[in-house]
Amino acid sequence: MGVGEVKETESYRERIARRAALEVEDGMIINLGIGIPTLVADFIPADKRVMFHAENGILGTGPSPAKGEENAMLCNAGGFPVTLATGASFFDSATAFAIIRRGLLDMTILGVLEVSQNGDIANWIVPGKRVPGMGGAMELAQKAKKVMVVTTHLDKNGRSKIVRECSLPLTATQAADWIITDMAVMEVTPDGLYLREVMYPYSVADVIGATEAELKIEGEVGVFR
């Protein structure tokens, strides 16, 4: 499905991914985090040359395979099945992380538990849950040229995930450049967090009321449908 194509049954996760895909430029090398970020690959137009990178050793993953056409030997870092783009390559995990650490990724798209108004990211530990660690998110957030956060605006308890200061252990400080949620598109700048778009059918007032962080508005706020 292309970027401009909307399914009647589009979920909030797909809408977030479709909006995030608009920030992808031709020729980029991009790492997709687990969860909503993996859906972004499904919304890249066929004529746009993009190479998706995975920490388990693939450069050139494609859209999700059709149901029943999964290859058990092909998966991303989260263990979910992927397809391969023309020119894809395989390598060991050490090389995959060397690509990250060398700063060769044009963008990383990450999910979060919290993100602050100055771009601090917390995405690796859930309170009360046993977790193996932060994985590659720490290095991705620090080394990628552009960091995009995609997430629901509120957590399961109705609390804002866009906060003034993170209360959870940080993955990286002042790392996020853009935040895309099911309610809004926000840009992190040295001057503060700017509300750039609202997701239909939400209004500017809805987004401000649902956001703990201080939002700044400059000019007209767009609407993404």
Catalytic residues, by residue number, are 55
**Exposure of 54 in the CB half-sphere (CA atoms within 13 A):** 26
d(CA 186, CA 167): 20
Any long-range contacts for 220-223 (C-beta under 8 Å, 24+ apart)? 221/195, 221/196, 221/197, 222/185, 222/196, 222/197, 222/198, 223/197, 223/198, 223/199
187 touches 146 (CB < 8 A): no
Closest C-alpha to 151, from 94, 109, 120: 109
Phi, psi of 37 (to 5 degrees): -55, -35
Q: Which residues pair with 194 in a beta bridge?
A: 187, 216
Starting at the earlier edge strand, list the strands of the sheet with 121-122.
121-122, 114-116, 162-163
